[in-house]
Structure 1
Amino acid sequence: MPFPAEEVPGLPDAFDYRHWDGEEEFPADPADCVFYVTPYMKSPEVTLRPVVHMPRLAVLQTLTAGIDHVLGGLDRLAPGVTLCNARGVHDASTAELALALTLASLRGLPGMVRGQDREEWRFGFYEALADKVVLIVGYGAVGEAIEDRLVPFECARVLRVARSGRTTVRGPVHALADLPDLLPGADVVILCTPLTEQTRGLAGAEFLARMKDGALLVNVARGPVVDTGALLAELREGRLRAALDVTDPEPLPAGHPLWHAPHVLITPHVGGSSSAFEPRAKRLLARQLTRFAEGGTLENAVLITE
Structure 2
Amino acid sequence: MLFERHRTSDGEIGKHAEKGRSIDIMRREKIEDRRWRTEDGRFYFPFSIFHFLFSAFCLITLTGCSTEYNLATQQQETLIYGTDKEVSIGEAVSVKMEQQYDIVTDVDVNERAQRVLDRIAAVCDRKDITYFIKVLDKDVLNAVSLPGGYVYIFKGLYDELKTDEQIAGVVAHEVAHITARHAVKRIQNAYGAMILQGLATQSSAKVAQGVNFALISLFSEYSQQDEFEADRLGVKYLKKAGYDPSAMVEVLVKLREDQEKSPAREYSYWRTHPFIPQRISVVNQAITGKLDFKDYLNLMGE
TM-score by length of 2: 0.21
By relative contact order (CA 8 Å, sep 6+), the higher-ranking structure is: 1
Which has the larger strand fraction? 1
TM-score by length of 1: 0.21
Q: Return the index of the structure with the highest Cα Rg.
A: 2
